[in-house]
Amino acid sequence: MPRTSLFSSPSRGVGCAPPSKGVILRAPAPAAGGRAGDRGSSSSWDPEVFRPEKGCPAIAGFDFSGDETVIPPVLVPGIGFKKPDCGAWVMKLESGREYRDIFHNCDSLGCPVCVDGAITKKARTAEERFLQYESAKLAENAVLIAGEIRHSTPRHIPFTVSPAHVAELWHRAGKKHGVFLDLARAEFNQALRTSGLIGGVAVYHPNRVKHPGTGLTGSRAKVLITREAKLAGAMTDESPASALYAYIRKQKRPADYYYFSPHFHVTGFGMLINIEEFEKLNPGWTYHNKGNVSNVGGLLRYLFTHMGMIDDRHSVTWFGRLSSATLARDEIKTTYQTVICEKTGLPWVIVDSMDKTEIGKEYTEPFVEYRAFFRTSHKRGPPKIKWPKSETTRRRACDSSVHEKGILALTKHCDEYGRL
């Protein structure tokens, strides 16, 4: 069903103004009880096809390609096991002369068959939280915190760790990706407090792309891989940026297309401090401001296609004014609405189904009405910035005794941040 997004590109003619009242919003609810869904193709929900103006949005940062033999890359979505019923045909829809097949979707990011649908659903949920944030601001009677305006556009800012500091964290993590993420996120959260951002979402990317045949990295690797995908018929000139990663995960050895290069993609609000001041406050870290985002749903869908998949760790976290501690919502009621075809403008009708009793009925999806608001118990005011006490608090490498053991330093030798 076509949806109006606050963050869709104006060039497509989609409305970009929030509702006047801003109190009640309607959002697609997750399908209940394993309800069938499609595979996440172009016929499923897509905020808009995310195509950057100048190729894929490669990150200007550090190059870790020389360390791929030492630090292996992390698994990404779509590289896992398929369940027996994943991708099984469920029903066929008709709208005028348009037809659409519905397949079973397990909504698992690891499933190679259902990964597109799972990413689409996750991106839709994330975009809805940005809509909730705008709605809560419109309904807020109190003065907003410093740096927060009524109608603002989110920014895309990747934060990257320097190679030298990555090597230090990797050693202190005992060469385990999960522990490495814990250490890196603790420092990243500290960096956010000093960055000037007041809220948003952070997506952890442990890898960057390389070409397995030539060893090229960055944008040059993406150009070669895109060329190979087009020759194989997996991409066209009109394909979205995420199609590159869909092609990679279908290869026999997808891990060969990645090398370990950890960074966090932030989509949020606020005014960034000067980069020199930021790097002085956060040694080993830097950021790259990629500017305003006109299509949040499309950007997040692209970022989710190659985020890290680490057991018992979250690669997507919300912070500041968009965190669950600050932004909340009350669900009012859930209703089922008929899905309309974007091309014909007519409802989709079930013409064939595994459940013969559904034939002839209009295809519906659940929608939920809710009210978004800021929690009054949350302390108001700008985020508290923790400034370093002195230059002596800068991180340093482990001593020789820890290097010889090759394990994590004992707790008694570390401070509250796990540093020696």
Give the mean pLDDT of 306-311: 90
Sheet (strand 364-374) strand order? 24-28, 364-374, 327-338
Distance CA 359, CA 127 (A): 33
DSSP string, 397-413: PPPHHHHHHTSPPPGGG
What is the reported pLDDT for 263? 94
For residue 149, count CB atoms less than 10 angstroms from its CB and return exposed for 0-12, middle for 13-18, buried for 19 or more. exposed
34-38, 59-63, 135-139, 345-349: range with highest mean pLDDT: 345-349
Helices first, then strands: H and E counts in the chain = 8, 11
Give the mean pLDDT of 300-320: 91
Distance CA 413, CA 390 (A): 20
Q: Which helix (H) or strand (E) holds 269?
A: strand 258-270
Residues 6+ apart with CB under 8 A from 360: 349, 350, 351
Distance CA 362, CA 14 (A): 26
What are the start-end ranges of the E strands in 162-248?
197-209
What is the reported pLDDT for 3? 42
Half-sphere exposure of 93 (CA within 13 A, CB side): 24
What is the reported pLDDT for 150? 67
| pLDDT tops 60 at residue 162 | yes
Q: Which helix (H) or strand (E) holds 130?
A: helix 115-139
Q: Over the stretch 373-388, which tens digit does the pLDDT of each residue have? A: 888 654 444 445 454 5
Q: Over the stretch 24-60, which tens digit does the pLDDT of each residue have? A: 444 444 444 344 444 433 333 344 455 554 433 433 4
What is the reported pLDDT for 392? 41
- Name the residue among 32, 22, 27, 19 with its Cα closest to residue 1: 27
What is the reported pLDDT for 330? 84
The residue that leads in pLDDT, 95 or 62, is 95
pTM above 0.85, yes or no: no
Give the mean pLDDT of 125-147: 77
**DSSP 8-class letter at 391:** G
Distance CA 284, CA 280 (A): 9
Residue bearing tokens 């096809």: 49
